[in-house]
Structure 1
Amino acid sequence: MRRANTASVLARRPSGAPTMNSFRSVGMSEKEIYGDTPTELIQLERLRTMETVASLYSDIRRNEGEMSAPNDAQELVDIDPELVTWDGPEDPENPRNWARSKKWRATIGIAMYSFLGPFSSSIVSPAVPKICVAFGVTNTTVAALMVSVFVLAWAFTPLVVAPLSEMFGRRVVLHVSIFVLLVFNMACGLANDLGEMIAFRFLAGAGGAGPLAIGAGVVADIWNDDERTAAIGLFSIGPTLGPVVSPIIAGWIAMNLEWRWVFWILIIVNGVVLAFGLVILEETYAPILLKWKAIKLRKETQNPALHTVFEITNFTALEKLEIAVMRPIMLLFTNPIVFGLGLLMAFTYGFLYLLLVTFPSLWEVDYGFSVGISGLMYLGPGIGFFVGILTVTPVSQWAYHRLVVQNGGVAKPEFRLPAIAIGAVCMPVGLIWYGWSAEKQLFWIMPLIGAALFGIALISVFQCIQSYLIDMNPAYAASSTAAATTFRSLFGFGMPLFASQMYGKLGRGWGNTMLAFVALVIGTVFPVVVYFRGEKIRKWNDKRMDARKAREQAKREERITRRLESEARAQEKKLGPETPLVERREIHGIPEEEASEDGSLRRA
């Protein structure tokens, strides 16, 4: 069998000098590739080619990280003439090659979406007293549940949403998530009893979790490793500021209007952000974009066999779900670094929501402020976040680059941690300052200074740990951050529930002092151990993880190979012995003199 000359295909291009890469992107019809070869032989050739491509591609991707842009297998286009890839390394359709303005537009879009979930999580806090009166709730733990149950959904939903975004695309999953958030925020506004409110808040949290789970993946889709720092910083602003900004707005709404208006305003914000996202957000996941390209070329060429490498070798839906769920859990409980640093991040996040839940009682009951003024008190931690962003980021970058230079230009993940010392100091100091000034009811600015110090500490902890978890092992970066997200969401849900009992028995002073000692221990011990012994621990754990990954990959490759070989044997059996040997040889490009003595085929 001889493949058709490419001249007829190149002639279809409207303009421009043709190259091999651009030729591949046009796609060819079955006639142009295989000429007059019988259909049965064509199918056999395809199966053998796919088997070869699957084997070679597994080697190409063996060391690929979870945050890396998937390789499109351009190296294999000469082996598989029906393989759809990008039009060369500079293809503008590849998200990594988008114009910077287009990249920043997508980054702003995902940042706004990731802001909306945390914004929705705490907006109800100033209205909780009115909701409790309306529903006859007197238990303070149940009252806190209305706020924190939203965060509980973030512990589990991301583990399912992430693989869904790889199967159906980032954009559609993001839009559906925000739509779900909109629907159940509306349901919360229409709730008639406590049970409905808690159920709808949990489901709204599940919708708000989508951007938090996919956002880092979108950033990784479009930005190269050396360009990603600023984009990650912008993406991180939403989840950080969202929980603080919303109570400031909700305080005045709850004071002057019925509590349901908190949700009506939230729905308006939700709808505006969704409309904005529908306009500016484009699909960024390369395998989906290439799949769409293949579908388009199939229609143009009338060749239904055109395919991407991902359609041959990609994980099944069940495999993706298993990896997304099991790998983060395994990392959390078997990797001491992920557990230790994740615990510090979880404690910090838990106290943030404890602060959000207890602020109304502090300012409205103890200080006698109105609901609106009490909402303004959330500016304390908010200012701390801004100060943290302005100070921690440059200090972290300066320390990192200096340590790299001192290490002969060789970077290490541990060099991301020095700036966490800011959090190690500010967190216990801030907790004690806030607790005792609130206990003694000092001038209102004193508790806010303590809350601001905590805000600075939170930025320090989150930035340093997230950067470390991504650099620690790029092959498991997404799983490591997912493990930390699950851990911190559980603390964000659980810590506010015991706040009233703790403060009721110990008071705000001793209660926060106890938490400050916990913060001092985990905020110094774990980072110091990781900084000085992290490399040794990483190598030990990476060896275990890589061995496990290799076993999983080998089993998966074996399944793909068995399937393709089985289909090829069935096709060969269908061909029968009457098929001319020369055609069977030529189909693999094997010269006659290289055929085995018994006339059997050799694999290309």
Structure 2
Amino acid sequence: MSFLVPLVSSVVAPAVELILADFHSSSTTFPTFVLSVFVLGFAVGPLLLPPLSELYGRVIVYNVTNVLFVVFTILFGLSYNEAMLLGFRFLSGFAGVATISIGPASIADIMPREKRGKAVSLWAVGTVIGPMVGPIIGGYVTEVLGWRLIFWIISIIAGLVTVVALTISRETYPPVLLERKASRRRKETGNPNYRSRLASDLGLRELVIRSIMRPSKMLILCPIVTTSCVYICVLYSIIYIFFSTFSIIFKEVYDFSTFDSGLVFIACGIGTLSGLAYLGYFSDKTLEKRVRAERLITPEDRLPFLVTVPGVLSFSLGIFVYGWGVEKHVHWIVPQVGTAMAGFGYILIFTAVQTYLIDAFEDHSASVNGANAALRGLAGALIPLGGLDLYKTLGWGWGNSLLAFIALAFAPFLWILAVYGEKIRRTQLFKSRL
């Protein structure tokens, strides 16, 4: 599901013109908003679903949301007007984000710290490749079978995955497992004093409220979470500006067909896969050296300059190459190289920061990942709406140059965290009240 859900976020991109024609609409905002409203569901879901997974367990949240995702995807394919389509697309994004926002927390449940970098990198393959592959599949299926068939096919595949997950999934969250064990002991012995050592003294109502409020609280009160999430949401917004305008730009500038415009996402996918391989090797290698040397491992070890510097430079330079390649109408391979560079840099920074947050907030890894997912989802939903206006005002070259300069302006925050993150974490007095 961590592949299918991101795939659905972009699979509709090559089909928006046909959907508009099908609904007899001439809306100028619909082509971008049909992508953004799904990501808006990505912003709302993480505020509720990860806290519930820390309260009731990962598996029940996965199973319920997987079923809802299948239902809403079917209804999206059956929509007969814009309001229905946008509504069900939002709901499918809300339900589908569970696997994305809770997935890294499940990895933290079962993997030792020195092996999480590689594990998160492998998990991230689906979340990253999904949006790249989506337009390719969408472009082909739309041309051959029509846009509705895309979502019925996805519903069938997601339904099969859901059935398998219902059968084989097992709980991994330690506090829930310990509480279930304590509950069994109370029933078997009749002794009400058996309690999990991780059990809370709070009542159910207060526990639910505190759990649901935790992602927002971390985002607002914790400088590390705020800084990290703001930086990631800037990069995520830029990537989604790309996703929402790729098809339009390559059709307009290079006269690509609907199917060909879907293929332009491949380059970015190749770049991100290369970045994941690079990160998986160097991230865990740093920690493994510390373990062998019997040195203390800190979350800041997830942000080595060997990862962050290439990430920052590759992302920004890739945006410049893409923008000016399109502006000067050079061969289409040049902007494709730029998108590959941007994809390489983005995944280095995104995955490094994500594993850093998981390690820094191990007890509440789902909530901190939820805070991250919520902010980037909100930014990814709203900011790309102005993407075409940005390019119309500044042009492809200077419009993308502005995005690159913004990304560079936020880069120092990453290095501040690497150097001073541990000291900042020690001063967070509110942490005990999470």
TM over 0.5: yes
Rounded Cα–Cα distance in structure 2 between residues aligned with 1:529 and 1:163: 29
Report the equivalent of 1:222. 110
Report the equivalent of 1:24. none
Q: 1:154–1:489: 8 Å Cα contact kept in structure 2?
A: yes
Report the equivalent of 2:132. 244
Cα deviation 1:99-149 (Å, max 9, x = unaligned): xxxxxxxxxxxxxx2222212111111111111122233333232111111
Find out whether 1:335 has 2:222 as its counterpart.
yes
- Alignment length (residue pairs): 432
Mapping 1:82-121, distance limit 5 Å: 113-121=1-9
Find out whether 1:416 has 2:331 as its counterpart.
no
Larger deviation, residues 286-295 vs 248-257:
286-295
Mapping 1:129-140, distance limit 5 Å: 129-140=17-28
Report the equivalent of 1:480. 368
Task: Find the partner of 1:268 among 156, 166, 175.
Answer: 156
| 1:518 to partner: Cα distance | 0.5
Find out whether 1:378 has 2:265 as its counterpart.
yes
Q: 2:275–2:345: 8 Å Cα contact kept in structure 1?
A: yes
- The structure whose residues are more often helix, as a share, is 2
SS at match of 1:140: coil
Rounded Cα–Cα distance in structure 2 between residues aligned with 1:309 and 1:472: 24
Find out whether 1:539 has 2:426 as its counterpart.
yes
Report the equivalent of 2:43. 155
Asked which structure has the greater RCO (Cα within 8 Å, sep 6+), the reply is 2
Gap change, CA 1:220 and 1:470, over 3 Å in 2: closer
Q: 1:159–1:324: 8 Å Cα contact kept in structure 2?
A: no
Report the equivalent of 1:438. 326
Q: 2:125–2:273: 8 Å Cα contact kept in structure 1?
A: no
Stretches of structure 2 that go unaligned for 5 or more consecutive residues are none
Report the equivalent of 1:124. 12
Q: 2:13–2:31: 8 Å Cα contact kept in structure 1?
A: no
Rounded Cα–Cα distance in structure 2 between residues aligned with 1:538 and 1:287: 23
| 1:166 to partner: Cα distance | 4.2
Gap change, CA 1:138 and 1:510, over 3 Å in 2: farther
Find out whether 1:368 has 2:262 as its counterpart.
no
Larger deviation, residues 415-424 vs 303-312:
303-312
SS at match of 1:191: coil
Rounded Cα–Cα distance in structure 2 between residues aligned with 1:172 and 1:408: 38
Report the equivalent of 1:467. 355
Find out whether 1:322 has 2:234 as its counterpart.
no
Whichever residue aligns with residue 161 of structure 1, its letter is L
Report the equivalent of 1:426. 314
Find out whether 1:514 has 2:399 as its counterpart.
no
| 1:340 to partner: Cα distance | 2.1
Q: Which has the larger radius of gyration?
A: 1
Q: 1:350–1:491: 8 Å Cα contact kept in structure 2?
A: yes
Rounded Cα–Cα distance in structure 2 between residues aligned with 1:393 and 1:170: 25
Whichever residue aligns with residue 412 of structure 1, its letter is T
Q: 1:163–1:317: 8 Å Cα contact kept in structure 2?
A: no
Rounded Cα–Cα distance in structure 2 between residues aligned with 1:284 and 1:396: 24
| 1:407 to partner: Cα distance | 10
Gap change, CA 1:246 and 1:298, over 3 Å in 2: same
Q: 2:319–2:400: 8 Å Cα contact kept in structure 1?
A: yes
Rounded Cα–Cα distance in structure 1 between residues aligned with 2:32 and 2:345: 24
| 1:223 to partner: Cα distance | 3.0
Cα deviation 1:27-50 (Å, max 9, x = unaligned): xxxxxxxxxxxxxxxxxxxxxxxx
Q: 1:297–1:306: 8 Å Cα contact kept in structure 2?
A: no
Cα deviation 1:349-375 (Å, max 9, x = unaligned): 112221111111122232112211211
Gap change, CA 1:501 and 1:168, over 3 Å in 2: same
Rounded Cα–Cα distance in structure 2 between residues aligned with 1:406 and 1:280: 35
Whichever residue aligns with residue 349 of structure 2, its letter is V
Report the equivalent of 1:97. none
Report the equivalent of 1:529. 416
Q: 1:119–1:246: 8 Å Cα contact kept in structure 2?
A: yes
Gap change, CA 1:458 and 1:135, over 3 Å in 2: same
Find out whether 1:395 has 2:282 as its counterpart.
yes
Larger deviation, residues 216-225 vs 258-267:
216-225
Q: 2:19–2:147: 8 Å Cα contact kept in structure 1?
A: yes
Structure 1 length-normalised TM: 0.66
Q: 2:13–2:35: 8 Å Cα contact kept in structure 1?
A: yes
SS at match of 1:153: helix
Whichever residue aligns with residue 49 of structure 2, its letter is V
| 1:168 to partner: Cα distance | 4.0
| 1:449 to partner: Cα distance | 0.5
Structure 2 length-normalised TM: 0.90
| 1:255 to partner: Cα distance | 1.5
Q: 2:120–2:355: 8 Å Cα contact kept in structure 1?
A: no
| 1:241 to partner: Cα distance | 1.6
Task: Find the partner of 1:254 among 142, 145, 149.
Answer: 142
Gap change, CA 1:317 and 1:430, over 3 Å in 2: farther
Mapping 1:188-207, distance limit 5 Å: 188-207=76-95
Gap change, CA 1:531 and 1:227, over 3 Å in 2: closer
Task: Find the partner of 2:243 among 347, 350, 356.
Answer: 356
Gap change, CA 1:174 and 1:520, over 3 Å in 2: same
Gap change, CA 1:290 and 1:467, over 3 Å in 2: closer
Cα deviation 1:538-572 (Å, max 9, x = unaligned): 222x2x224x52xx8xxxxxxxxxxxxxxxxxxxx
Rounded Cα–Cα distance in structure 2 between residues aligned with 1:296 and 1:477: 27
Report the equivalent of 1:53. none
Rounded Cα–Cα distance in structure 2 between residues aligned with 1:429 and 1:355: 15
Rounded Cα–Cα distance in structure 1 between residues aligned with 2:227 and 2:200: 36
Q: 1:163–1:320: 8 Å Cα contact kept in structure 2?
A: no
Rounded Cα–Cα distance in structure 2 between residues aligned with 1:329 and 1:163: 11
SS at match of 1:466: helix
Report the equivalent of 1:282. 170
Stretches of structure 1 that go unaligned for 5 or more consecutive residues are 1-112, 553-604
